[in-house]
Amino acid sequence: MKKKLYTGILSGCLLLSVMGCNDLSEVDPSNLSGNNFPTPNNPATYSLLAGDVFSQLRPLVKNWNSYWELVNTCTDEMVIPTRAGDWGDGNMWRNMHLHEWTKTQNNVGDVWNVGYVGIGKCNLVLKVFEGVSESDQKKIIVAQIRTIRALFYYFMMEVYGNIPIVTNFDETTPPANTARTNVWNFLVKELTEITPILPLEVNANTYGMPTQWMAKTLLAKLYLNAKVYTGEEKWTEAIAACDDVINSSKYVLNPDYMSIFASGNGPSTKEIIFAIPMDVSFNAAELTFWQRVLPGATANKFRLPTTPWNGHCTLPEFYALYNDPNDQRNAQWLVGKQTARYKKINGQYVDVPEYTLQVNGADMVITPEIPWGKGDAVNPFNVGNTPEGLNAGVRNVKYYPEANSINNSSNNDFVVFRYADILLMKAEAEARKANNAALALPAINALRTVRGAAPLATATFQTILDERGREFAWELWRRNDLIRFGQWGGKWGINPGKPDSHLLLFPIPQTAINANPNLKQNPGYN
């Protein structure tokens, strides 16, 4: 009897003792979470968070669905034809070329995400920095992060126009669109306010980060295109912004055009105003330029670690701009019969006598002409996978492939703003202000001389556009330039020309509208 009683008491105690284990709170043992990061008594944790803002710039030019591809494949300087089964990609590249992009197309959504994730990160870091005590250093880093945010907003406004603006991290209402004019006003005000706080020095410490000159260049872009963005001309302001950069005497044109972009470009490249640094060994490299562009067999020519995918090329009409045989800028194009001095044997490239590269049993001869429709009776965008189709289209090697690199990413820093742009922007603004294209001729010829091309005798506005085309091929500005020069919707490749004005903007991606009911679609895309 007593035994039973004790048993009962014991089981009761057992029952009571385990009831204490009802704690259901969670602490992630291996990851930083909101309750332990950033740590107020460890300032280093704040700068770790700030650095993230800069890393978000790389996806703008990343491997896949980048801003770089969005603004270039819709122009005459870049096309990614379907080559039999390759590069069909749901007709995305065809849509870009024909100006038939859709609001559900992947790159339209991805670019939006890259931009707005970047803006969100800037807002988060600015919010976190509110908790840090005031200092000069804090003022500078806050101004730099606001400049990066302005750059993201600029790119978003450039392609989507009427975009939502959020500057306060704690704002939780999904934001509505802001008219493009007001986005422009916001950016001009923001940049004017923060520029004086930014660093004046141009050196290794400020490389890849906003300086006063980087902000002025962005302002110059805003003023030069003000007519497009707001309907109002701002030529005087554009000239003034460019003059500030010129008068700083921090920058010069690089005597060697190709070295601006080559692997090893960096703080010592005096033409670069703002670049996105890349370094494969720090896993900081989303630029897979040659992997996407070059024909497969050229791996042997450049000693590449992987077989390139044979994608992007230029249109023959754009390549025709390169009409001076002495122009240094011709070196950025890969054309004609391709030979190699290396061969991969047992996984190592070894030197061999020069031989001609082969494509499906034929010599590799890259041609400017593109045999539209050869690969598919019903799809003119398909050039097929005969040697003719595979070799079609001149390739750009501006970001020149580095031999024996670790992987298919590049060490070349991606150049966003450079001094040649300042010089040509100023020349164009002066010409437009006076409505006299000839005023741009001295600046154009000065640039041409450095690039090894013969000076021109006369200049029209077309001359300015063509020179910008030659100078900035496959950078970030062809779409911007064509729109400003009124040549958007022109006829190139198999695009018959599409004058519809709504095509001046991309649609707001459907995924963004699904996620945010306060957003309105751009006109013409509903």
Partner 1 sequence: MMRNFYNLLQKGFFVVWLVTVCQVAVAQQRDITGVVMSTEGEILPGATVSVKGTTIGATTSADGKFLLKIPADAQTLVASYIGYQLLEMPVGAKTYFEFKLEADISSLNEVVVIGYGEVKKSDLTGAVTTVSPKDFNSGVVLSPAQLLQGRVAGLTISKAGGDPTQGSSIQLRGPSTLGTQTSPLFVIDGVPGASLDLIAPEDIVSMDVARDAASTAIYGTRAANGVIFVKTRRGKAGQTTINYHVYGGLEKVAKDYDMASTDEVRAYLTSKGKSFTVADDDNANTNWQKVITQDSYSQNHNLSFGGGNENSHYQASFSYFDRPGVVKTSGYNRTMGRLALDHNMFNNKVRLGATISNSVSNGTPVNYKAFEQALRYLPVTNVYEADGKYSENTARPFYFNPLAILEQNTETYKTSVLLGTAQLGVTLLPGLTFDAIGTVQRDITERALYQSVNSTYARVNNSNFNSGFGAQNYTTFQNKILELFLGYSKTFGIHDLRLTAGYSFQQDNYKGLQAVTNGYISDDLGVEGYLAANPSTSFTAYLTGNAGDDYRNFYPKSNSQNRLVSYYGRAIYTLSDKYILQAVLRRDGSSRFGENNKWGFFPAVSAAWKLSSENFMQDLSLLSDLKLRVGWGVSGNQGLNPYQSLVRYGRTTGAVFVNGAWTSSYSQVQNANPDLKWETTTTLNAGIDFSLWQNRVTGSIDIYNKNTKDMLFLYNVPSPPYPVNTIFANAGEMVNKGIEVAMTGNVINKEKFKWSVSLNLAHNKNEVKSLSNNLFSKTEDLGLGYGGSDPGLQGASFQTTQVLRPGLAVGTFYMYEYAGIDANGNRLYYNKNGEAVSKVDNKQDDYRILGSALPKFTYGLTQNFNYGSFGLTLFFRGVSGNKIFNAMAANLDRLADASSINVSKAALAGGYTGTPFYSSYYLENGSYLRLDNVTLSYKIPQFVNALKNATVYFATQNVFTITKFSGVDPELDYSGRFPGIVGVGKNGINPTYYRTRSFTLGLNVTF
Which one of residues 227, 248, 258, 296 is an interface residue with partner 1 (CB under 8 A)? 296
Question: What is the Cα–Cα distance from 423 to 242, expressed in whole angstroms?
Answer: 7
Beta carbons within 10 angstroms of residue 200's beta carbon: 11
Beta carbons within 10 angstroms of residue 58's beta carbon: 18
At closest approach, how far in Å is the CB of 322 from partner 1? 30
Which 53-112 positions form the footprint of partner 1 (CB under 8 A)? 54-55, 58, 82, 84-92, 95, 100, 102, 104-106
Eight-state DSSP code of residue 271: T
At closest approach, how far in Å is the CB of 495 from partner 1? 14
Q: Is residue 41 involved in binding partner 1 (CB under 8 A)?
A: no
Tell me the β-bridge partners of 82. 382
∠ CA 64-70-72, nearest 5°, is 110
Q: Is residue 249 involved in binding partner 1 (CB under 8 A)?
A: no
At closest approach, how far in Å is the CB of 184 from partner 1? 20
Site string for partner 1, 111-140 (x = CB under 8 A): --x--xx-xxx-xx----------------
Tell me the β-bridge partners of 342. 351
Nearer to partner 1, 215 or 297 (CB): 297
Q: Is residue 376 involved in binding partner 1 (CB under 8 A)?
A: yes
Nearer to partner 1, 50 or 61 (CB): 50
Which 335-374 positions form the footprint of partner 1 (CB under 8 A)? 344, 346-348, 360-361
Q: Is residue 13 involved in binding partner 1 (CB under 8 A)?
A: no
Listed ranges 150-158, 256-264, 434-442, 511-519: which one lies at the site for partner 1 (CB under 8 A): 511-519
Beta carbons within 10 angstroms of residue 182's beta carbon: 14
Q: Is residue 22 involved in binding partner 1 (CB under 8 A)?
A: yes
Which 188-217 positions form the footprint of partner 1 (CB under 8 A)? 203-209
Q: Is residue 494 involved in binding partner 1 (CB under 8 A)?
A: no
Bond before 59 cis per omega within 30 degrees: no
Which one of residues 39, 42, 407, 501 is an interface residue with partner 1 (CB under 8 A)? 407
Burial of 128 (C-beta count, 10 Å sphere; 0-12/13-18/19+)? middle
The SS3 of residue 3 is helix
The tokens for 199 are: 């660093």
Question: What is the Cα–Cα distance from 497 to 494, expressed in whole angstroms?
Answer: 9
Listing DSSP states for 172-211 in one string gives -SPPPP--HHHHHHHHHHHHHHHGGGS----STTTTTS--
At closest approach, how far in Å is the CB of 37 from partner 1? 5
At closest approach, how far in Å is the CB of 59 from partner 1? 10
Question: What is the Cα–Cα distance from 263 to 404, expressed in whole angstroms?
Answer: 12
Nearer to partner 1, 114 or 242 (CB): 114
